[in-house]
Structure 1
Amino acid sequence: MTQYEVPTLAHVAKLAGVSENTVSRVIRNKGPIAEDTRNRVVKAIETLGYVPNRAAGSLASSGSLLIGVLLPSLSNVVFPEVLQGIHAALATTAYQPMVGVTNYDAGKEQDILSSLLAWQPAAIVTTGFDHTEATRRMLSNSRVRVAELMDIDAEPIDVAVGLSHRQAGYATGRHLIERGYRRIGYVGHDWGADRRARLRHDGVCQALSETGLTLRAEERFDGPSSTMAGRDTLATLLARAPDIDAVVFSNDDMAVGGFFHCLAAGIVVRKQLALFGFNGLDIGQALPMPLSTVRSNRFLIGKTAVERLLESPTRPEQRVVIDTGFDIIEGATA
């Protein structure tokens, strides 16, 4: 098959060295299949990025009105706001979203994407650039419109809509430096499932480096972000580096937890220790001292992405990056 040819059942059968009927039985999980044969077929499917068409031609002939949406979480308020933007863009159209939640698991994203593509959607909306190779092949081979959201620090498959997290981190570092902070620490969560947090960290380090500084100390929680993780991880950091005068947190959840630790420990926020977050969440602005942070335009990201995808059903040759920007919220904690 050629580089841009959509893989078919016949391609899978040829690569796996089996009949098309056997491939079909593996896909449908029908009848006895030798484990070695099943493994060869699954491997061929992943290698080619093949997706079965469960729409049986009905949607393909009339034009699918489905938009597949893959989000990492719905418990994190960031992504429901993105989904609200997606719904706003679809409100006056006949299109309907099909939403899958990956829980920051690239393997689960791959499985959900395969199911969504089987229904021949008009477009796929996903989050970030951290896909498995099989996911990337499926997205590339499908030729449906694809929007990758929240991040623009890599090359998209079709359209990327979001902000530069490296630049957001850099702006954070500059903000603190310009306000006289020099002994700066970092509190974060697991980078393995959050590439964007790592980019912001790197941006902070770049800003510090340009002024001849480095992070005085840093501590990361081995797991997802939360207020509890932010509280406990800040306590660990301060036990190692009690002389720091400012802390950059990987996001607002972590920063709010850090604020609660300061309250409990009798640390005067800003006067003794500055706190800086990311996301611009309402909870951070509802603190007794509104959190200093970066606000991302989450509703606009979702809305802009879908509007761009619906401009044309055909994926253009030129890949598009749309920067929705960010804003520094000065707040009162830094």
Structure 2
Amino acid sequence: MAGFDPPGRLVTLTDVAREAGVGESTVSRVLRNHGSYSKRAGERVAEAVARLGYVPNRLAGSLAGGGAGTGSGLVGVVIPSLANIVFPDLLRGLTAALDGTGMQSVVGVSEYDPDREEALVAALLSWRPEALLLTGLEHSPGTVSLARAAGVRVVEMIDTDGEGIDRVVGFSNRAAGEASARHLLARGYRRIGYIGLDPGSDRRGGKRLAAFEAVLAEAGLSLVGREVREGRSSAAMGRAGFEALLARHPDLDAVYFANDDMALGGWFACLAAGLAVPERIALFGFNGLDFTEAMPQPLSTIRTPRLAIGRAAAACLTGDGPARIDLGFDLIEGATA
């Protein structure tokens, strides 16, 4: 890098061996905790490592081991966003579960772009990780090919509706959409609208919407209207979408939102317009984010097991459990529907 002046020479395994007064092979055995060495030798190596600030070259150890996933200690993770709290929650569950295992996560953010996801997967695999964790079940053909050829455990998270590459951990988005529709119908709502993102880019939201509409069709109904927005979901987007949808369909009695962020925006719009919730219009979200319980009217929504998904994904890396783990979800009745 231009202008970068390293503070000092990289400490090598040879330096540690010289400092500890042992051979390099002994240092290697101590650091890998593999093979025979005396207690005193182990202590001397540990002391030398601490004095010199030596960091083992895990990548070199992995390559020397003869293939991917044989000692790098890295877990490659690709998520679509850091702006959506769903994914930081998932990472919290994952990293907490990895603590103490000797494995560390390396995270890439795809911004919901399949081509970017593929490039990130290729970059992560070049570091020979122990495992690869992906979000969702829909990927580019190139990503699927890379993951299948990597020779490491692959875990796909958050969705169970479809075929997986290796291990799948999450919940059924279709079942979540069905449960949402049945809840609104059971409460007597019949003129229902939808606000969300393009189902082509929000694949999991598209699955929920399709299942929601299928339940309405079974009851002889259909969505009265829908407002599909482009960009990153937010409360501001939800408010603008709600106002646009209600302007076109003022007789709606309920709105189903793709997520809680947008549902919060809908609630703000109702507050500003003096619309009683749920008496005049009901609001139903998705994800069960923490703020939904703190609202003056707790949001009616689906709570997803984000931390548990992260923990279960980590468990897949250290065991031979089931190939598919469905952790389900909770329907939160709340006070808005």
User: Same-fold call, TM > 0.5?
Assistant: yes
Query: Aligned residue for 1:333?
Result: 336
Contact 2:75/2:129 (<8 A) preserved? yes
**Matched residue of 1:148: which SS?**
strand
- For these two proteins, the number of residue pairs brought into alignment is 276
Query: Aligned residue for 1:89?
Result: 97
Cα separation, 1, equivalents of 2:84 and 2:302: 17
Cα separation, 2, equivalents of 1:60 and 1:83: 30
- Aligned-pair CA distance for 1:143: 2.0
**Matched residue of 1:198: which SS?**
helix
- Aligned-pair CA distance for 1:63: 2.0
Query: Aligned residue for 1:32?
Result: none
- Aligned-pair CA distance for 1:309: 2.1
Distance verdict in 2 for CA 1:133–1:127, change over 3 Å: same
Deviations 1:299-321 (A, max 9, x none): 00011011012215xxx9xx822
**Matched residue of 2:220: which SS?**
coil
Contact 2:283/2:300 (<8 A) preserved? yes
Cα separation, 2, equivalents of 1:60 and 1:89: 28
**Matched residue of 1:272: which SS?**
coil
Distance verdict in 2 for CA 1:306–1:60, change over 3 Å: farther
Contact 1:289/1:333 (<8 A) preserved? yes
Cα separation, 1, equivalents of 2:209 and 2:174: 8
- Aligned-pair CA distance for 1:56: 5.3
Identity between Structure 1 and Structure 2 (%)? 51
1:134 aligns with 2:142: yes
Alignment of 1:288-307 (within 5 A): 288-307=296-315
- Aligned-pair CA distance for 1:166: 0.8
**Matched residue of 2:221: which SS?**
coil
**Of 164, 177, 185, the match for 1:169:** 177
The residue identity in structure 2 corresponding to 1:310 is T
Deviations 1:109-147 (A, max 9, x none): 111111110111110011012211111100011121000
Moved more, 129-138 or 168-177: 129-138
Query: Aligned residue for 2:327?
Result: 324
**Matched residue of 1:218: which SS?**
strand
Distance verdict in 2 for CA 1:192–1:157, change over 3 Å: same
Cα separation, 2, equivalents of 1:93 and 1:216: 52
Contact 2:59/2:72 (<8 A) preserved? no
Cα separation, 2, equivalents of 1:65 and 1:87: 13
Cα separation, 2, equivalents of 1:224 and 1:115: 25
**Of 238, 242, 259, the match for 2:246:** 238
The residue identity in structure 2 corresponding to 1:322 is I
**Matched residue of 1:161: which SS?**
strand
Cα separation, 2, equivalents of 1:207 and 1:330: 18
- Aligned-pair CA distance for 1:59: 4.4
The residue identity in structure 2 corresponding to 1:182 is R
- Aligned-pair CA distance for 1:99: 1.0
Contact 1:247/1:276 (<8 A) preserved? yes
- Aligned-pair CA distance for 1:55: 4.1
Query: Aligned residue for 2:214?
Result: 206
Distance verdict in 2 for CA 1:60–1:121, change over 3 Å: farther
Cα separation, 1, equivalents of 2:61 and 2:316: 26
1:226 aligns with 2:234: yes
Cα separation, 2, equivalents of 1:247 and 1:58: 52
Whose RCO is larger (CA < 8 A, sep 6+)? 1
Query: Aligned residue for 1:266?
Result: 274
**Matched residue of 1:268: which SS?**
coil
Alignment of 1:1-334 (within 5 A): 55=59, 58-59=62-63, 61=65, 63-312=71-320, 320-334=323-337
- Aligned-pair CA distance for 1:190: 2.6
Higher CA-based Rg:
2
**TM score, norm. by length of structure 1:** 0.80
Please list every run of 5 or more consecutive structure 1 residues that lacks an aligned counterpart in the other structure. Answer: 1-53
- Aligned-pair CA distance for 1:292: 0.2
- Aligned-pair CA distance for 1:64: 2.4
Cα separation, 2, equivalents of 1:239 and 1:75: 29
